[in-house]
Chains A and B, each alone.
Chain A
Amino acid sequence: MSLVLTRIDNRLIHGQVLETWVPYVHADCIVVANDVIAGTPLKRMMMESSVPSRMRVEIGTVEEVAVLIASGELDNCKTLLLFGTTIDALRAYRCGLQYQQLNLGNLHAGEGKTRLSCTIFLDQEDLDALQELEQAGVTISARCIPADTERSWKKLIPKGRKKA
Chain B
Amino acid sequence: MSAFDLLIGALVALFCGLDRTAVSQIMISRPIVAAPLVAWFLGEPLVGLQIGMLVELLWLARLPVGAAIPPDDTQVAIASSVLSINLSRLLDTPETELLLLCLLVAIPLGKVGQYFDRFSRQYNIRLLSRAEAYVDSGNLVLAELQHLRGLLSFSLAAVGTYAVIIFGGFFLVPVLWPLVRQPLVLSHSWLQLALPLVGVAVILGTINVSRALTLFCASFGMAFLLMWLV
Contact = CB atoms under 8 A, between A and B. Distances in A.
A contacts B: CB pair < 8 Å: yes
Interface of A: 11, 14-16, 18-20, 22-24, 54, 106, 118-119, 144-148
Contact of A16 (B65, B121, B122, B210): B65
A20 B67 CA distance: 13
Nearest to B206: A23
B62 interface: yes
Contacts of A16: 65-66, 68
Nearest to B205: A23
B66 A14 contact: yes
A23 B205 CA distance: 9
Contacts of A18: 208
A143 to B, nearest CB: 11
Interface string B54-68: 000000001101111
Contacts of A146: 206
Most buried by B among A23, A106, A146, A148: A23
Given A118-B118, A119-B67, A144-B67, A23 B62 contact: no
Interface string B191-221: 0000000000000001110100000000000
B208 A144 contact: no
A16 B63 CA distance: 9
A19 B62 CA distance: 10
Contact of B206 (A15, A20, A118): A20
Contact of A19 (B121, B208, B210): B208
B68 A145 contact: yes
Given A118-B118, A118-B121, A118-B122, A23 B66 contact: no
Contacts of B66: 11, 14-16, 106, 119, 144
A15 B66 CA distance: 7
Contacts of A22: 208
A14 B118 CA distance: 21
A19 B67 contact: no
Across the A-B interface, the 5 shortest Cβ-Cβ residue pairs: A15-B65, A23-B208, A119-B67, A16-B65, A145-B68
Contact of A118 (B63, B65, B67, B208): B67
10 contacts: A16-B66, A16-B68, A20-B65, A22-B208, A24-B206, A118-B118, A118-B121, A145-B65, A147-B62, A147-B68
Most buried by B among A18, A19, A22, A54: A19
A19 B65 contact: yes
B213 to A, nearest CB: 12
Interface in B1-28: none
A138 to B, nearest CB: 24
Nearest to B59: A147
Contacts of A20: 63, 65, 68, 206
Interface in B111-133: 118, 121-122
Given A15-B63, A20-B63, A118-B118, A144 B68 contact: yes
Nearest to B209: A23
Nearest to B208: A23
Contacts of B210: 54
Contacts of A24: 206
